[in-house]
Each structure stands twice: as structure tokens, then as C-alpha cells.
């Protein structure tokens, strides 16, 4: 987990409003820039060439190249963003989505965003789907969420469904959700499969929203595939972007809908 090569689970630990510090001159960044300068200016060209051809350097290059190459790169066209509106943050996005709706949050963690969905979007039904199956997002979180939302669960407004997104989603009827918010492992493969399934599970004209519409979390050394999966889905299925958020920390959210609604 956490390596460039493995694209594992993700981190969505940066909370709303937390200061972005990706571009700061951290000691790591300074050492890396210093090393690059030394390499380029002090080493003679012949030695640089020998080093460049060394198996270990080739191996490092390959591991970076392969990871990007595994993810399809599909370009959006103007029509995919013709109706796109930018909103400030996730709360503004929730306020823009339909109220009194049948909603799912897929990837719940400890339920903090679930509470914000209830507050800002006022859904009539909220389904919370999560596997809670690793060290960070462990099984104890299901109880944390249950405690946090006990009144809403008792009233039947909120339900918890434990399991993998692509398994749990098949248990819902087609055309069931008004909108969903997707926030699971952020890999290309998972996101691609989730979008395919969700497009059957949302009503015609329904919205699929989700988190981390970015290419990676470089602080955590995680390459995501959300942008590629979402854009590919839009191009192949005639869907369009209707909202993106615009937070300073750049953990942006997206919302897409089938064209023509």
C-alpha cells in the first residue's frame, strides 16, 4: 500500500479546508532537486550515459512508465463539458444535487461525509456502502457509523450495506438511485467497473458523483485512475460532466449525467 507501483487504497484523509502543501519546498523536494542538479552538471556525459543504461535505473524508469501505460487515456470533447458548472466545494455540490432523493454513498469510512449528505442534500433515503476490510478502514468503523447515525438508521432513512461496491450494488434494482457519491479505492479498474454498474442503477437522468477526480495523491505516492475511468465512461456512453468542485487542496469531486437531460 502506498507505493507508486501498486496503486492501492486511497487516502482521502485530507479534510475540507485543510491547507494544500503539495508544492512546498519540503526537505524531500529540495534533496531531489539538488540530486538532479548534481547529476546533470557534475557527472561527465559518458558516465551519465552508462548510469542511464544501468539495469537498476532502467528498472525504475520501467516501473513508472508501466503504471501510466496500464491506464487508458481517453480525451474528452467540448460536448462533454458544455454544461459543466464549477462549484466551490463538496458542500456546495451536495446543495446543488436534488433534495428528497434516493441516494447512495459508496465508500463511507467513518461516516463524516454521510452526515454532510444528510445535512446539505436532505435525501429521503441514504444507502451507505463500504467493505471496511483493511487496516485503515477497518471493521470497527461500521459500528462508528452506526453510532453516529443511530436515529436515522432507526427511522429507516439510512441503511448500512457492508461489502464490496460491485457486489452490493447488484442487490439494488435498476433505475433505483436519483444520485450516488462514489469514493472507494480510486483505482482505474474499480472505478471503471463501478461506473458501468452504477449507470444501470441510477434513474434515467440520474447523477453519478464522486471524489478525487484527480490523477493521484502525490503526498501519499498513490496513482489514481478516477479521471481516466470517468472520462472514458463519458466518451463511450455519451455522458457529460455537470459539476466539478474547486477546492484549494485539489481533491476535486465530479458529477456526471447522461447527455440530453
131 belongs to the binding site for ligand SAM (CB under 6 A): yes
Task: State which residue, 84 or 220, has the beta carbon closest to ligand SAM.
Answer: 220
Rg (CA), the chain: 21
112 belongs to the binding site for ligand SAM (CB under 6 A): yes
Which of 121, 160, 190, 230 binds ligand SAM (CB under 6 A)? It is 190
Strand-pair partners of 222? 217
245 belongs to the binding site for ligand SAM (CB under 6 A): no
* DSSP strand pairing (177-182 vs 202-210): parallel
**Site mask, ligand SAM, residues 139-178, x = CB under 6 A?**
-------------------------xx-------------
Q: What is the DSSP string of 66-120?
A: HHHHTS------GGGTTT-EEESSHHHHHHHSPSS-EEEEE--TTSHHHHHHHHH
* Cα–Cα dist 113/111, whole Å: 6
191 belongs to the binding site for ligand SAM (CB under 6 A): no
Contacts of 133 (CB under 8 A, 6+ apart): 139
Which of 127, 132, 172, 226 binds ligand SAM (CB under 6 A)? It is 132
Note the residues at the interface with ligand SAM (CB under 6 A). 9-10, 12, 105, 107-109, 112-113, 130-132, 137, 164-165, 183-185, 190
Amino acid at each position: 500500500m502506498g507505493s507508486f507501483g501498486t496503486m492501492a487504497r486511497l487516502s482521502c484523509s485530507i479534510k475540507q479546508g485543510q491547507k494544500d502543501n503539495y508544492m512546498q519546498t519540503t526537505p524531500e523536494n529540495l534533496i531531489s532537486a539538488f540530486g538532479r542538479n548534481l547529476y546533470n552538471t557534475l557527472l561527465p556525459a559518458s558516465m551519465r550515459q552508462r548510469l542511464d543504461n544501468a539495469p537498476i535505473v532502467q528498472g525504475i524508469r520501467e516501473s513508472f512508465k508501466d503504471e501510466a501505460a496500464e491506464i487508458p487515456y481517453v480525451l474528452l470533447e467540448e460536448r462533454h463539458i458544455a454544461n459543466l458548472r464549477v462549484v466551490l466545494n463538496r458542500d456546495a455540490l451536495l446543495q446543488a444535487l436534488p433534495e428528497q432523493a434516493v441516494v447512495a454513498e459508496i465508500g463511507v469510512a467513518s461516516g463524516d461525509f454521510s452526515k454532510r449528505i444528510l445535512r446539505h442534500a436532505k435525501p429521503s433515503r441514504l444507502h451507505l456502502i463500504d467493505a471496511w476490510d483493511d487496516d485503515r478502514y477497518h471493521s470497527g468503523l461500521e459500528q462508528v457509523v452506526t453510532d453516529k447515525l443511530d436515529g436515522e438508521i432507526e427511522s429507516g432513512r439510512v441503511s448500512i450495506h457492508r461489502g464490496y461496491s460491485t457486489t452490493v450494488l447488484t442487490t439494488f434494482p435498476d433505475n433505483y438511485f436519483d444520485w450516488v457519491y462514489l469514493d472507494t479505492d480510486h483505482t482505474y479498474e474499480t472505478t471503471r467497473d463501478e461506473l458501468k454498474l452504477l449507470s444501470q442503477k441510477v434513474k434515467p437522468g440520474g447523477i453519478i458523483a464522486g471524489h478525487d477526480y484527480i490523477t493521484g495523491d502525490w503526498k501519499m505516492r498513490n496513482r489514481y485512475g478516477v479521471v481516466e475511468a470517468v472520462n472514458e465512461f463519458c466518451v463511450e456512453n455519451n455522458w457529460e460532466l455537470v459539476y466539478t468542485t474547486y477546492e484549494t487542496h485539489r481533491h476535486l469531486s465530479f458529477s456526471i449525467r447522461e447527455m440530453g437531460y
